Amino acid sequence: MKKYFEKIFGGGQEEFQKVLSKHLEEEKRLFVVTANPETLMTGQENSEFDRLLMDEETCIVPDGIGTVKAAHMLGYDVAERVTGVEISQFLLKEAVRQGKTVFLLGAKEEVVSALAGKLAAKYPNLGILGYENGYVKDKDVVFDRIAELRPDVVLVALGIPQQELLIYRHLRQFEKGIFVGVGGSFDVLSG
């Protein structure tokens, strides 16, 4: 468990936004895992999940007060939580500012389509390359399709651990892109 805390981003939301902006601008690949205590437990129980958490391209951010408190108890300096909703909101706004493209995968069809519609209305210049609900049978096929589109931001809302395992299986098919498992964020943002 301690090895995950060694890697956790402790700089807080604003500092993390700078990391995201820079990666987006430089078209560098980045995998973000928003970690609650359950996420870190999954790493202890599942060797593939452990591998993805420890990968040098993976950035773990503390999603939830439980992770922040646990970090403090272990003596790590973690400023505040950084949630999937906050990351999603920032990346969408930043994608507009930088003229970048996004793909949305996950949640129910009515949720993800409502979110795509809402974003298109709010940000007419946002490059939404496409979206897909999270209940299609073969999500690996969907990811192959996403890879062909070469998006700059891929938000995956399938819940833990499905979203992280799926991203990690396909990450190296992409030359660039910020990939984030955002859990229930589409449900929040579409409303």
* Tokens at 58, concatenated: 């993976």
Q: Quick one: the chain helix, strand, coil %, rounded to 5?
A: 55, 15, 30
- Phi, psi (5° rounding) for residue 10? -105, 0
| Residue (107 or 171) nearer to ligand UDP, CB | 107
Give the binding range for ligand UDP (CB under 6 A) out of 25-33, 44-52, 118-126, 181-189.
181-189
Site map 82..111 versus ligand UDP, x via CB under 6 A: ------------------------xxx---
Shortest distance in whole angstroms from residue 115 CB to ligand UDP: 10
Sequence letter at residue 39: T
H or E, element range at 187: helix 185-190
Nearest to 91 by CA among 176, 153, 183: 153
Binding to ligand UDP by residue 12, rule CB under 6 A?
A: no
Binding to ligand UDP by residue 60, rule CB under 6 A?
A: no
C-beta of residue 8 within 8 angstroms of C-beta of residue 78:
yes
| Residue (71 or 112) nearer to ligand UDP, CB | 112
Binding to ligand UDP by residue 10, rule CB under 6 A?
A: no
H or E, element range at 70: helix 65-73
Interacting positions 133-172 with ligand UDP (CB under 6 A):
134-135, 157-160
**DSSP designation for 127:** E
Binding to ligand UDP by residue 37, rule CB under 6 A?
A: no
| Residue (24 or 68) nearer to ligand UDP, CB | 68
Binding site for ligand UDP (CB under 6 A): 106-108, 134-135, 157-160, 183-184, 186-187
